[in-house]
Every structure is written in structure tokens, then in C-alpha cells.
Structure 1
Amino acid sequence: MVLGVVAAGCAKAPDQRGLDLTASAPPLQAYQPVDTLATASIGNRAVSVTNQPLPPRIFTKGNLAGRTLTVGSADEITLLPGEVILTFDDGPRPGKTEAILDTLDAFGVGATFMMLGRAAERHPDLAQLVAARGHAIGTHTYDHANLADMSNAEATAEIAAGEAAVAEALGHPPSPFFRFPYLAQTGFLRTSLVQSDIVVLDVDIDSKDYYGDTPAKVMERTLARIEARGRGIVLFHDIHARTVVMLPEFLGELERRGYQVVRLAAKPRGIFGREVITAQSPVPASSFLRLN
């Protein structure tokens, strides 16, 4: 009787539904996902933007035309390998600027023209033509002065005069892009410009087309510097015949080597616009509208 009790105690009692809880569980089956479109990207390591492939070329006249980069500061000018920005200083210049615009149109690429106030003042029709062709227009002082040799007040006035003259020629404000003549700057001037929401354009590849070299030499030097850096802002001048002659072959070679030309555009500043650096006297406080 005791053994019977023990034996009964060792037996595995079924649960209330009559199921044997001691039965072996069936082997686990491999999970078969139903949604075959599920992505496998989650958990992959991030790839540096500079190591990612260039964006696809869509709706361009050729392989050379790249993306449009909209910036509000120099820090936002970030280029991928194989990307260049074309800039032209010191214009506009009759007989030169028009030819450069035609070449840029032929390749379907955009550029940024850093105009002198004096030149735009003399040739407003050319300044307006550059804008009408869809290129960005920045400023380069009024008279190409070396700002580092001037007082802060004089340099500020020179910058303001250049912007005012270009705005007058265009009939509207230029893009808030500025380049120091001779790349000569001071900490005070650069800080003042940045605080006035002006994008200071530096130079990565100097073509030195202002040297008395042949067009072939200018192209060879510029391409070599681009290849060495792999990307960057290129400095040309739309006032030299050698640049006009060189540009078609240069752009064709860029295209053959797989480069892309990035358009530069200014980031909108909102409904109130941006501050403008100026040397004019401040408006008296009494002239402001007071709301009570």
C-alpha cells in the first residue's frame, strides 16, 4: 500500500485539460520570415560620407553636372571626392565673361562669380546676364583692395561699397558670398563677415590663371592640383583670355576623369533677410517706429 502510494506519487499527473506536461517538446523550427522585403540595413556600421559613392547623375546634360549645395556658412561647404566648385573672380569683363558663360552652358554646369563692385558698376548688363544664366553672384570688394593693409573702418567700407555696387547693377542683392582679394584677411574682418551672415569663400585649387602662361599650362597646373586634392573650390578669373581659351578643354577633361561640378547656392535667411555689413552711420533711435 505504501509502495502504491509512492508509485502514484512518482507518476506525472496530467493537467486539467488532460495534457501530459512531461511530454518532450517538439524541436524548434527555423524562423521563416513572411515579409521577404524586410531590410537588412539595421545594425550595419555607419559609413563615412566621404567613403560613400557619388550621388547619381539625374536630369543633367552630361556627366559633369553635379548637385546643388545650399549653404549658410563656409563650414557647410563639404564636398565628396570627385566634386569641385568653379569660381570666377574680378569680373564681369566684356568679351570674356560672355564666352565663359557660353562654355558653362555647353557643359550644363554652374559657377559662382565673385564680382568687383567697380566692374559690375561699369557693366551692369553683364552682371545681369550672369544672373539670368542661373549662376551665383558674390562680391570681391569694390576695387580689389588689399584689406589687410587697411584700417578696420576702411576695409569695412570697401567691402560694403562692393556689395552695394553689385546690388545696384543687378537690381537685387547678390548672394551673401565674399572672397578676400589676394586672400588677404584679418581675424577682425573675417569674424565681422561671419557674424553678418556672409559666407567667406576660400580657395582649395588656385589655377594661377593670372600668370602669363599658355592656356595649356593653366589647364595642366589646375588639373594636377585637382588630382592631388581630389575635390575643392577652384579659383579662376573671367577677365583673362587664356582662361576663356582653356575652359572648354578643361571641362571636357574633368568630365573624362569622372569629376562633377557642384553648384553653390545661398541658404534662405527667412522673411527678415540677413544682416548686411555696412560702414554707414547708424539710424538714430528716434527714427524707429515705437509701438505703445
Structure 2
Amino acid sequence: MPVRAAFAAAVVISLLSSCAGKPPSEGGSLRSAFAAGDAAGSLKPKDDARSPVALTPAAWGRFNKMGGLAGRELTVSSISDIKLRDREVVLTFDDGPMPKKTERILATLDQFGVKASFMMVGQMAKAHPDIAREVVADGHTIGSHTYRHPDLAHMSFDDAVAELEKGRKAVEAATGVEADFFRFPYLADSRKLRQWVGSNKMVVMDVQVDSKDYFSDTPAAVATRTMEALRAHRKGIILMHDIHPRTAAMLPALLTQLRAEGYKVVQLKYGKPPSDVLVASITKPLFATN
């Protein structure tokens, strides 16, 4: 096996094992997840990695009668600027890029006319720079997720900062753009690290709706769980991962139902903060994480 391929495979195995957890007891189906029986459409994948999952003609007929799913662009320079209105969501994908999975997700997002934020692991971006640049070319927001996905809360401050900086630099080298957003692996942070991120002109990406797509569930179960959590919150940042086939499989149905229920997908953009912004104002989470 070539050295680069072996390296990429090792990264994938590490990420998959790090996100493993006990599957939830709930099951469900696409019918239980969504109000309109077959509005989710067919989940029959196409061979092309860039092809989204096809929807049935009946589903597309209903889809085209609804309003647009794409919402506003929200320019932020701190976490306190991420103020979402009722039925506004931000789509985020962690841990990629991953061949075939990321491209399939990109195609689905393009089909629905919405933009997301991709929080890339430095090792993955370095291993798959072509896909990382494709995410940029499609107009999505770029963020970093450390270099090798460790639990920063259990590292020394200096080691955590070094890991964070290495990840950001790797993502920027692969994509050719600045990685202005950052998400803590496992959502494991500390006030000191959050302050460091804010003072270094990055915005922490918190989570209000965790799809828990890292559990070994069916796409239907992931969709059910995500919609139920979102209905309880009515707005927020949705956490997904572009390294799992189940996520790519359920995404068209999820976006269809978001549109059916009147949600809008907001894209976050980074704007330079004014010079008088205090670090203390950019380190407090807007919502409690799940």
C-alpha cells in the first residue's frame, strides 16, 4: 500500500473509532421522522460520488411547491454574533473531508441550494486536498477541528494550542482560504482555550442539535433523532459528520423536511471584528450544548 494511502486509512480508522458510542435505543423510520409519508423520497443512491440521493417524482412535486430552503448569510466575528431567529438552522459537518461521502454531501447541498460549514480535521484535509478545495469552490464555509481530533480538555494548555494551530494551518494549506471557525473535538473545551480561540480571530462553533450520526444507526434513525431534537429547539447549529455513509444517505430527506416545516438554512461568514471588541465577549456560548 502506498505511504499516502496508508496514512489516509489510518486517519479514517482513528476518526471512526473516536466517534464510536453505544447506539441509542430509538429506531424509527423515515415515515416516523417526517410528516408527509413519502416526502422523504427514495433513498436509492447513484453510483457517482457527486450525485445526491434521488427523490421520487412525487416528492419533488411537493418540494417545488414549497418556499426556498436557503436563508440569509450571517456575518459574525464572535460567538455572540451567532443569533438565529426562530426556524433558522446552520448545517455543519465535522471530521472530513472523506472521499465519496463529502462529494455526495456537496452534491445534495447544491441540489437544495444551501450552504454549510465544514469543520475539517487537519490530517484529513492534508490527505484529501482536492476534496477540501472542492468544498471551497462550492462556496461553503471552512473551519478547523484540530489536526488529529484529540480531546483538548485533557491536554496541557500549551499542547492543546499547538494542536489547534497545527490543525488550522493544515486546513488553510489544503483549502487555500482562512479557517475562521473552530469546533472543539467531542465539544470538550475550557474557558481558557475558548478565550485563546477568540483572541486569535476564530469563532467557536458550538452545537444545539447533535444528530449523533456517529452511532451505528440507520439513516432513518439519524433523521428521526435530528428532526425531533430540532423541533424541541426550533433553531440552532446542527452537528453532522461528512465521514459517514448514513449521513450522506439521510441528508436529502432531512433537507426536504426542513423545507416542509418552514426552516431556513443560514450560512455563517466571518467578518473582521472591530478593534475594541473584548475577548470576554466572544467566549460565552449562546446555547448550552447537548
The verdict on a shared fold, with TM-score over 0.5 as the criterion, is yes
Q: Is the 8 A contact 2:102 2:242 kept in 1?
A: yes
Verify: 1:205 aligned to 2:198, yes or no: no
- Please list every run of 5 or more consecutive structure 1 residues that lacks an aligned counterpart in the other structure: 1-60, 271-292
Distance in 2 between residues matched to 1:250 and 1:170, nearest whole Å: 28
Aligned to 1:14: none
Percent identical: 53
Matches within 5 A, 1:108-187: 108-174=113-179, 176-187=180-191
Q: How far off its partner does 1:196 sit?
A: 1.6
CA deviations 1:123-158 (Å, max 9, x no partner) are 000000000000000000000010011001100000
The structural deviation recorded for 1:188 is: 1.2
- Asked if the contact 1:62–1:107 (Cα under 8 Å) also holds between the matched residues in 2, the reply is no
Name 1:63's counterpart in structure 2: 68
Which of 139-148 and 261-270 deviates more? 261-270
Tell me which residue corresponds to 1:194.
198
Q: Deviations over 1:157-215 (max 9, x none)?
A: 000000110111112322x1000000001121111111222100100000000000100
CA distance in 1, matches of 2:258, 2:178: 32
Aligned to 2:238: 234
Task: Write the distance in 2 (CA, Å) between the matches of 1:62 and 1:107.
Answer: 11
CA distance in 2, matches of 1:137, 1:224: 27
What is the distance in 2 between the residues matched to 1:64 and 1:129?
22
Q: 1:264 to 1:246 in 2, by over 3 A?
A: same
Q: 1:228-249: CA deviations, max 9, x gaps?
A: 0100000000000000000001
Decide whether the 8 Å contact of 1:62 with 1:108 is kept in 2: no
Q: Structure 2 matches for 1:13-92, cutoff 5 A?
A: 63-92=68-97
State how 1:232-271 maps to structure 2 within 5 Å: 232-268=236-272
- TM-score w.r.t. structure 2 length? 0.71
For residues 67 and 125 of structure 2, the distance between their equivalents in structure 1, rounded to whole angstroms, comes to 31
- Separation (CA, whole Å) in 2 of partners of 1:243 and 1:66: 22
Q: For the aligned residues, what is the CA RMSD?
A: 1.7
Instruction: From the two aligned structures, give the one with the greater helix fraction.
Output: 2
Q: Give distance in 1, aligned partners of 2:220 and 2:245.
A: 12
Question: CA separation in 2, counterparts of 1:249 and 1:126?
Answer: 24
Q: What is the SS of the residue equivalent to 1:239?
A: coil
The answer (yes or no) to whether the contact 2:142–2:178 under 8 Å persists in 1 is no
| Structure 1 outlier segments of 4+, above 6 Å | none
Aligned residues of 1:64 and 1:107 also touching (Cα < 8 A): yes
Q: Deviations over 1:69-123 (max 9, x none)?
A: 1000000000110100000000000010000000000000000000000000000
How far 1:269 moved relative to its partner?
5.5
Partner AA of 2:216 in structure 1: G
User: Which structure: larger Rg?
Assistant: 1
Aligned to 2:111: 106
Q: Which amino acid aligns with 1:163?
A: R
Could you tell me how far 1:251 is from its partner in structure 2? 0.3
Aligned pair 1:217/2:233, yes or no? no
